[in-house]
Amino acid sequence: MTGSSVAIPARHGKALVLMAGQAVKLVNTHGTQVVDCWAWRRGALEEFMSMEATRVWNQQLNPKVGDTLVTNRRNPILTIVDDTSPGVHDSFMAACDRQRYERLNVEGYHRNCFDNMLEAVRDLGYEVPNPTLASLNVFMNIAVKPDGRSLDTLPTLTQPGDFITFRAEMECIVAFSACPQDIVKIQGQADNTPRNAHFSILENGDYPALPVSQAWIPG
């Protein structure tokens, strides 16, 4: 049975707990929103989803359907079991934070994904011991140019209602942030305005049954 839909308000964060075998379906409600994502092992928050370890595991710069996301201890934590979006997600750009907006010459406090993540896990009663800027930036469109090195920061390619589903491979806490970025044009519409997104929790059987991807070993 599919759980009820929960809003991630524009410019804010929202966290949830998943049991192993449950999944979270993240919906790009307006089709224009980048959503940053973090995850931690519940009961041992010093173990968290690691983008750098995930790239080694899958030998992919950015993860795609069927790829498992792993922790800083090289344990599977989430697997992408479904994705109706064009499959463009970013694993290598830092989440926005207070200091990023200062560098963008914003006066005063600007809401940001890093603080949203901290607030969201606090709302669940947790404190993250070593929060990382290395989020999975779902729906974010950062292209590597043909030189293999230069980057293009581009608007999302998603449509309203596009969704991605992450299955939990361990009991974990997941945090989402509806990215408040409105200076750099990453949100997929002309006004570059952050919008809300939604998620729901799915039970085993309510999502495609894909295997856990295995650690890459040279042939």
Applying CB under 8 A, which residues contact a second copy? 50-53, 55-56, 59-62, 64, 72-75, 92-95, 97, 99-100, 102-105, 129-130, 132-134, 143-144, 148-151, 153, 183-185, 215, 217-218
Query: Helix, strand or coil for residue 142?
Result: strand
Residue 96 Cβ vs a second copy, minimum distance, rounded to whole Å: 9
Residue 151 Cβ vs a second copy, minimum distance, rounded to whole Å: 5
Using the minimum distance from each CB to a second copy, give the nearer residue, 134 or 170.
Answer: 134
Residue 58 per-residue DSSP state: H
Using the minimum distance from each CB to a second copy, give the nearer residue, 96 or 201.
Answer: 96
Using the minimum distance from each CB to a second copy, give the nearer residue, 4 or 105.
Answer: 105
Using the minimum distance from each CB to a second copy, give the nearer residue, 16 or 96.
Answer: 96
Q: Pick the closest to residue 100 from 92, 111, 89 (CA basis).
A: 111
Residue 117 Cβ vs a second copy, minimum distance, rounded to whole Å: 14
Residue 180 Cβ vs a second copy, minimum distance, rounded to whole Å: 15
Evaluate whether 126 touches 171 at the Cβ level (below 8 Å): no
Number of residues that this document lists for the chain: 219
Residues 6+ apart with CB under 8 A from 111: 11, 12, 180
Using the minimum distance from each CB to a second copy, give the nearer residue, 1 or 217.
Answer: 217
Question: What is the distance between the alpha carbons of residues 28 and 158, in angstroms, rounded to a whole number?
Answer: 8
Query: Helix, strand or coil for residue 170?
Result: coil
- Cα distances from 45 to residues 56, 122, 192, in angstroms, run 22, 13, 34
Residue 4 Cβ vs a second copy, minimum distance, rounded to whole Å: 34
Question: What is the distance between the alpha carbons of residues 131 and 80, in angstroms, rounded to a whole number?
Answer: 22
Using the minimum distance from each CB to a second copy, give the nearer residue, 32 or 72.
Answer: 72
Question: What is the distance between the alpha carbons of residues 15 and 177, in angstroms, rounded to a whole number?
Answer: 9
Residue 60 Cβ vs a second copy, minimum distance, rounded to whole Å: 6
Q: Pick the closest to residue 87 from 60, 106, 110, 114 (CA basis).
A: 60
